Structures are given as C-alpha cells and as structure tokens.
Structure 1
Amino acid sequence: MKYRDYYEILGLERSASPEDVKRSYRKLARKYHPDVSKHDDAEDRFKELGEAYEVLKDPEKRAAYDRMGDKWRDGQDFQPPPNWDEGFEFRGAGSQPGAQTDFHEFFESMFGGARGAHARAGPKAFNVRGEDHHAKVLIDLEDAYRGAQRSISLQVPVIDAQGHVALESRTLDISIPKGIRAGQHLRLGGQGGAGATPADAGDLYLEIGFREHPRFRVDGRDVSLELPVAPWEAALGAKIAVPTPDGMVEMTIPPGSAGGRRLRLRGKGIPANPPGDLYVILNIVLPPADSETAEAAYESMQRAFNFDPRAHFYGGSS
C-alpha cells in the first residue's frame, strides 16, 4: 500500500486552518474538474483532491491522519502501525450518504469499514439525541479470562479557538466482562455525544482488542503458546507445568513427540459457552555443548544412535 500525503495533494502546510483547507480544495477542484479541465490527468487529480479534502475537512479524520506523523512521503510503501487507532474516539456518523466512495486503498484501510457501524438511523433534523461514538481499546488477555474493572483514556478531537484540531483526553471506568473476545463491543450508555438533555446523550461503543502478549497468541476463542522442551522430554514423555492466562496446569507430553507438535488443552482458551481451547506447540531446545561433559554426552549419543536426520531429505535421487 502507498502512503497518501493529503497536505501535499492540496498544496498545504500541516498547520493549515480549516479555512485554508476549504479554500485550497475549491481552487484546485475548479482547476481539475473533468468537465472543464484540459489536463490529461484531470480525472485522477480530481479524485485525489476529493479524497484529501474528505480527510482534512473532518476534525476526527484529520487528527487520526496526523497521528501517523510527518515522516512519510506521498507514494512511499506504507502499512498503518498496529492498533494505530487505539484510544481514539470517533463520532458514529461515518461517511454521509452519497459521499464519494472511489477512494485509494490507503483511505479505506484507515477510515473505511466499521466507521459508523453503530450510528443510529433516522432523521436528525432536530438533533434531539446525541450521536453515538466509538473507539478501539486494548485490554490484557488475562482480563478476558477473569473479567476486570479498568480505567481507560480516550482522545477526543476538538476545534480550538484558532480553528485548529486539538486532542482532549477523558478517562472512563469500565467493566470488562469475563469471556469477551477481540472484535466484540462494549456499550457505555450516555457516554457518546451530548443530546438535547442528559437523558438524550448518545452511546459510546468500545471495540475490544488484545494487547500483544509476550507468550500467548489469540485466534477467536482459542489461545496458543510455544512451550520449550528438552530432547529427552519429547523422546521419553514427561509431565510439565504449562502456563495459561488463568494460571498453571499440568500437561502430559506423549513419548516420541516431535518438534512443532500441537497438543490441546481442552476448555483452557477464552471462557465462553463452549470455551475455547489452549494449544501448546512443542519447541525442542537443544542444550549447548559448552563443557567437556556436555561434549562427551553428545559424542555418546552419536555412537548410541543409528540415526541419519537427512535419510529422507534427498528423496533417493542421484
């Protein structure tokens, strides 16, 4: 995917005011409108301008875009950082009906998809009820196993007195239910946009993600980890204490297990009905030959085994 420098496309500095954005877009849109422009690339340029304006005119999209920093150049290979939108509070309105949708994949990867998925339908003429908001928050995997009470901080884009986008922070106390999975949402009633009365405030929807864990990997309700084992434990079998996000359990390694073998601990994944499973992938770790005794042990193994690790590697072809 290629990075899109929306400021460069509109010929703007990053400090440009909303009026600067509007003025530049109108000027360039007139110049490259396909109905009047004689430029060969008018249609493509017009689409670029529309995409850039869609982002920079919107305080939320612009603040989110600015989070990427200014080190990127237009056309440079780019992937959004993982969870780049964590803790960033969006209004739930999403794209307006009839808005241009033929956008570059860069735009879609950042602003497409779930934006506005929880927006309420219906007329907004009187704006009685506040808009629903949404944000992505990351929790620890252990909290999904046990449930927890946590405080979270969200950043909310606002327009300051000079007409520029600024970020304000707010902190909320939330209850994380046992068994919640990545991609599910928590609804906080009345924590969205203000309405005509406090009772008419919109809701805040929190999309749950898991922080990267040094040990565990998550796939839906299932969890996996790599377990280091000694060669003799894999060859002879063993009972080993295995860590899970909910504490230690004992697991039996069958004799003759190979490296990479997946063993299942049924029901030890994320709690649910039914619960997920925990998969243990065996990683055979060789002890170092870092002493005379260790070297002698390896030489003894070499003499004891009639073993060729590449016996089937070459396929018998000459």
Structure 2
Amino acid sequence: MARDYYEMLGVSRNASSEEVQQAYRKLARRYHPDVNSDPESEERFKEINEAYSVLSDPDTRKRYDRFGPDFRSIPEGYEEWVGAGQGARRGGGRPGAGGRGGVRVSADEGFGGVGFEDLFGSLFGARGAAGPIPGADQEAELELTVEEAYRGGKRNVTLSGPSGPRTFEVTIPRGVVDGQRIRLSGQGGRGGGNVRPGDLYLVVHLAPHSHYRVSGRDIYVDLPVTPWEAALGAMVPLTTPGGETKVRVPPGSSSGRRLRLRGEGMPNPRGSPGDLYAEVRIAVPPKLTDRERELLQQLAAQSSFDPRRS
C-alpha cells in the first residue's frame, strides 16, 4: 500500500508550504546517507525527497490531494471532469446521470499507461460520448552524480515496462538539482484513438557523494589543511565539480570555518548560480619526523594559546 506523503514528512494535510519545507529540511538532515550510517537511511531519504517533490509543488500537491496515490495516472485536465456530484463534459454539455463523487483510478505498471476503457467507463458510463482520451503523463527516477548534474549533457536511459525495456537519449540540462523534472515529450502513457501520448518526466535524484554535499544549488566540500596553513594562512588547491581551483585560507582559521566561493556552486541557466562552501578541516601528519617533532615541541613550549579557554 502506498504511504501517505503527509505522513512521510510528519505534517498535517493543511500544512503551509513553509511548514512542509521545514519538515523536509529537518528530516533530510537526519536521514542523509552522508550523516546517517543506518542501512535503511538511504531508502528513507529517497522517500522523503519523493514526498517533498510532490507536496512542494502547488499544482502537483493539489492533484495528489484530489486523487491520492494514483494522481500520476490521471491525465492532465481531468480535474474538470472528475467532480463531486457532477459529471459534466469538458466545455459544457449534458451532465452525467446520477452524479458521481471523485473517482480514483489505478494505473498499470510501467509504460502501459492508464486502463483507458476502465477510466472512460468510470467517468462517463457506457455512453463513450466524450471523445478520445489523451495519454497520461508518467514519472520515473533518474539518478545522477553531482558531477553529471553540474556538467549536464546527453545520456542514454533504459527503463523497463510491460512490453520490454525502452531506451531514451536524454539531454540533461546543466545544473539540474534534486527533485527537478526533465520532460520527454510524447513518451508517457498511450491514449485512446489517435490522440498523442502523454509525457514522461524523469525526476532527478542526486546520488550521495563521498566528497560533495548539495543543498539546493549550494555545494559543500571539506578543505583539508595543515596546522601551519591554518595558523599562517595559505593558498591551497581545491577540487570542485567544475575543476581544480585555488582557495585562500585566512590566517588563524580553525576547523569548521566556511570559506565561500561565490557563484561556484550548481549552475543555473535561468538565474544566479549557487555558491560553493569549503569547510576547513585541520589535518595533522600521521607520523612526525624528528625535526617536525622538535619544532612542534618548541612551539608548545613558547605558545600560551589554550583552545579550551578561548
């Protein structure tokens, strides 16, 4: 049985968009695989992202509220046809006899689309007076690495269905973010008669990365530095999704300090790009030479700095 998206996020059905966003952020921080080693956290994280992608979009949330878990199976525009107590045809016409309440329709799995004869009969009885039924839009998940999402480009995607696997060449826009949808026109459910099929939407999911953490269009990355680089300041190399760059570490930087690289986050073809935040992580040599040990002992003897009192 499909789980309720509101239940997944722990919010009420009349929660505001701000409350939905706050709940999502709280749960995403809790279950992100980078910070939660529980084997089930990744699956929980995917569920949270799926729920948020639906409830954060006003139009999609409205369809979900009306049709429930089967909302993706209902062709776009059928909100006008499915009403409480009225079966009026689109664009006016004679109301259906014995008015119906909201109708929930299940889709066939994969690319077979909606059972259109069942849908047609449920909405209008056996009259068949409403004309051809358009194909339903469908969704599938597209998992990308951070580098793939950053660069964009073309990629072959194979999805399974009742009639066998189907392969598509997908153009990935540069800078796509988690939850963004890529539309493949005419690749969704088949319609009745000679009408065009629905569209297929690939919902982007960014795979957990060992080096990068992405929040919206901002990218976070650890910046390892030596104790003397942190104390004295230095220009150090940093690998980003866009390539190698240099970062200036100010003198007196402690672990956890964030260095902002404006505009170096995820690209945005329609607006401002995100930022990249390099978080200082002080690393010490795993094994000291005799000279290094001697110099550090001299520093320890001369310095009055006590980080536990700072």
Give the alignment partner of residue 219 of structure 1, picking from 204, 211, 215: 215
Flag the structure with more relative contact order, 1 or 2, with Cα contacts below 8 A and sequence separation at least 6.
1
Q: Distance in 1 between matches of 2:166 and 2:264?
A: 36
**Equivalent residue number for residue 298 of structure 1:** 296
Please list every run of at least 4 consecutive aligned residues from structure 1 whose deviation after the TM superposition is greater than 4 angstroms: 94-99
Equivalent position amino acid for 1:216 in 2: Y
Q: Distance in 2 between matches of 1:286 and 1:185?
A: 44
Partner deviation per Cα, 1:114-135 (whole Å, 9 max, x = no partner): x629851324635521111111
**Equivalent residue number for residue 184 of structure 2:** 188
Distance 1:238 1:98, change over 3 A: closer
The Cα shift of 1:146 comes to 2.3
- Give the TM-score taking structure 1 as reference length: 0.58
Give the alignment partner of residue 247 of structure 2, picking from 246, 251, 254: 251
Match runs of 1:142-221 below 5 Å: 142-156=147-161, 158=162, 168-196=164-192, 200-221=196-217
Distance 1:230 1:96, change over 3 A: closer
- 1:138 matched to 2:134? The reply is no
**Equivalent residue number for residue 241 of structure 1:** 237
Distance 1:98 1:212, change over 3 A: closer
**Structure with higher helix content:** 2
Distance 1:97 1:299, change over 3 A: closer
Q: Distance in 2 between matches of 1:142 and 1:118?
A: 35
Distance 1:289 1:179, change over 3 A: closer
Partner deviation per Cα, 1:150-185 (whole Å, 9 max, x = no partner): 0112233x4xxxxxxxx9532221000112221111
Contact between 1:128 and 1:200, CA under 8 Å: does it hold in 2? no
Measured on the aligned residues, the alpha-carbon RMSD in Å equals: 3.4
Contact between 1:136 and 1:209, CA under 8 Å: does it hold in 2? yes
**Equivalent residue number for residue 279 of structure 1:** 277
Distance 1:95 1:269, change over 3 A: closer
Contact between 2:75 and 2:134, CA under 8 Å: does it hold in 1? no
Partner deviation per Cα, 1:246-265 (whole Å, 9 max, x = no partner): 11111111111111000000
Q: Distance in 1 between matches of 2:285 and 2:73?
A: 53
Distance 1:247 1:308, change over 3 A: same
Q: Distance in 2 between matches of 1:255 and 1:96?
A: 55
- 1:263 matched to 2:259? The reply is yes
Contact between 1:289 and 1:298, CA under 8 Å: does it hold in 2? no
Gaps of 5+ in 1: 7-77, 87-91, 100-110, 159-166, 313-318
Q: Distance in 2 between matches of 1:85 and 1:133?
A: 20
Equivalent position amino acid for 1:261 in 2: R
Q: Distance in 2 between matches of 1:98 and 1:311?
A: 60
Contact between 1:190 and 1:199, CA under 8 Å: does it hold in 2? no
Q: Distance in 2 between matches of 1:199 and 1:259?
A: 61
Q: Distance in 2 between matches of 1:283 and 1:140?
A: 24
Equivalent position amino acid for 1:134 in 2: E
Partner deviation per Cα, 1:180-220 (whole Å, 9 max, x = no partner): 22111111111111123565111111111112111111010
SS, match of residue 137 in structure 1:
strand
**Equivalent residue number for residue 58 of structure 1:** none
Contact between 2:133 and 2:195, CA under 8 Å: does it hold in 1? no
**Equivalent residue number for residue 133 of structure 2:** 128
Q: Distance in 2 between matches of 1:252 and 1:297?
A: 25
Equivalent position amino acid for 1:188 in 2: L
Gaps of 5+ in 2: 4-39, 50-59, 82-118, 121-130
Equivalent position amino acid for 1:121 in 2: G
SS, match of residue 165 in structure 2:
strand
Q: Distance in 1 between matches of 2:74 and 2:252?
A: 52
Equivalent position amino acid for 2:150 in 1: Y
**What is the total number of aligned residue pairs between the two structures?**
211
Deviates further, 226-235 or 193-202 = 193-202
Deviates further, 180-189 or 197-206 = 197-206
